[in-house]
Amino acid sequence: MTLINRSLVTIDDLSNGEMEATFALADEMSADIKEQFGLCKGKIMASLFFEPSTRTRMSFEAAMHRLGGSVISSFEANATSFAKGESIADMAKVVGHYADIIVIRHPWEGAARVVADYAGIPVINAGDGGHQHPTQTLCDLYTIKQDKGTIKGLKIALWGDLKYGRTVHSLIFALAKFGADILFYPSPGLEVPEHVVKKLIKEYGGKLTHYKSADPAAKDEVSNLDAIYVTPNSPHQLAMMPNVNLQVELASGVDALYVTRAQKERFTAGEGLANRYPVVDKKLLQGKEFKKTLVMHPLPRVDELAYELDADPRARYFEQAARGVPVRMALLAQSLGAKEMPVKDEEALPRPDYPLHRQTFGIKCANPKCVSIQPTEQKYIKPLFRIVDHDPLTMRCVYCEHGFEPRFIASTEWHEGKVEFKKYHRADSYLVKKIRPEHLLVFNSEEEAEALGFKPSHYSHE
């Protein structure tokens, strides 16, 4: 495989072998960064950041300059044609003629997918809302491997805002791909979204076990373990137990603690922190389970990570940020065809081939931050879903990956244009497996179905 002319929208776009090759190239480049100048001479990177950024934007631009390329930039939506109502698709088509590669950050989830679909050149997602941030995940994995030598079999704890933290969502899938066990320590109310959990279990195997404290009165942050995901790649008897014993689980120690801030800019109206946001400090890390723990953070931090840890030998967050330059140099050089690294043969997880579902009426993504429901984008893109399960029937948005379970179904084939055969049924009836994907219609209510002339069948009610 090669990364030439390929886009990176989610971490799923890279195999483990391709990530390992990128790390090997990052090692090579960081050993002598000055020698890399000229690799991308004559190439132009469009840096499109429509959300605030310091590390990601500057490291991408520094990476391109280190490679001898040029950068054209746009930082504020109000200073672009977005303020005039231009669609992302139109913008992508235009910028695709100005540059050789696009790096984009945007508040709408799925925006990077749209740009990749229309730009005609490679596109790298630098963060799309609360969806994913795949290049940050590459920096995170690279940092862990530099210290631990491997990722498989490690125990990685994710701490803080696991609901809106896009860095966390990318990292969860990558850690599962590499065979790490994951401990979830969310701030109350900021647990991992259901659609992320469902994808994790269904597509990466393993088992998610929710923890129930043996001591309900426990107030310390370490007891605030929400769930443990155990990879299928390593034997783990605790995963088969109904209640995980925290002390036993932590006896072998935590290899890395990944801290995130509260993503308050993504909170919905009226949403706030249910309790005091958990803080990682020396007191927390004095436990023996954290003796050899790497303390990581994608930055910026607010109050969730004590400044006293900056001098702690376990702190790795500034190294994470610094490694963003060689990692992104490696990624840019490969995407632009300036450098190619051999990819080792690997036994990859089988990627499910979910059927696509297009329906121009009746349904749309339920995520209000999804790019597909924004008025400016509906000129080009229509709701597009993958059918990821039949029991119950579950649809996943192609753009933002949020899922939903429709309540009613029908078939375009069965009614044959005749009103008397135009029936709708409950989505949990046996008929859901009889309808071919290309003939499936889904509705969220009986009113939606009946407004289109469908009548209830024997299978439309309990």
pTM (2 d.p.): 0.90
Rounded to the nearest 10°, the torsion over CA 451, 454, 459, 460 is 10
Confidence of residue 223 (pLDDT cuts 50, 70, 90): low
Per-residue pLDDT tens over the stretch 257-283: 999 998 888 888 777 776 677 789 999
pLDDT of residue 293: 95
Residue % of the chain over a pLDDT of 70: 87
Q: Which of 399, 387, 365 is nearest to 441 (CA)?
A: 387
Share of the chain above pLDDT 90, in %: 60
Q: What is the DSSP-derived secondary structure letter of residue 396?
A: E
Q: Is 84 a catalytic residue?
A: yes
Is there a catalytic annotation at residue 6?
Answer: no
pLDDT in tens, 72-81: 998 665 555 5
Q: How far apart are CA 404 and CA 400, in angstroms?
A: 12
Whether residue 389 is predicted with pLDDT greater than 60 in this model: the reply is yes
Confidence of residue 423 (pLDDT cuts 50, 70, 90): confident
Read out DSSP for 153-193?
Answer: T-EEEEEE--SS-HHHHHHHHHHHHHT-EEEEEEPTT-PPP
Q: Which residue has the tokens 């520094």?
A: 62
Residue 217 pLDDT grade (very low, low, confident, very high; cuts 50, 70, 90) = very low
**Residues 35-49: pLDDT tens digits?**
999 999 999 999 999
65 is catalytic: no
- What are the C-alpha distances in Å from 421 to residues 86, 198, 442, 443? 43, 35, 16, 17
- In the residue annotation, 56 being an active-site residue is answered as yes
Q: How far is residue 326's CA from residue 331's CA, in Å, rounded to a whole number?
A: 9
133 is catalytic: yes
Tell me which of 43, 66, 133, 402 is the catalytic residue. Answer: 133
Please report, for residues 154, 280, 324, 333, 444, the alpha-carbon distance to residue 2 in angstroms, rounded to integers and kept in the order given. 28, 40, 21, 12, 42
Q: Is residue 104 pLDDT above 60, yes or no?
A: yes
Q: How many Cβ atoms from other residues are within 10 Å of residue 78's Cβ?
A: 8
Write the DSSP assignment of 58-76 as a string of letters: HHHHHHHHHTT-EEEEE--
Q: Active-site residue among 22, 56, 135, 394?
A: 56
Mean pLDDT computed over 5-14: 96
Task: Indicate which residue of 43, 57, 66, 105 is catalytic.
Answer: 105
| Distances 18 to 100, 165, 231, 340 between C-alpha atoms, Å | 21, 24, 21, 11
Annotated active-site residue in 55, 65, 145, 455: 55
* Structural domains for the chain: 11-131+323-335 (3.40.50.1370), 135-318 (3.40.50.1370), 356-456 (no CATH)
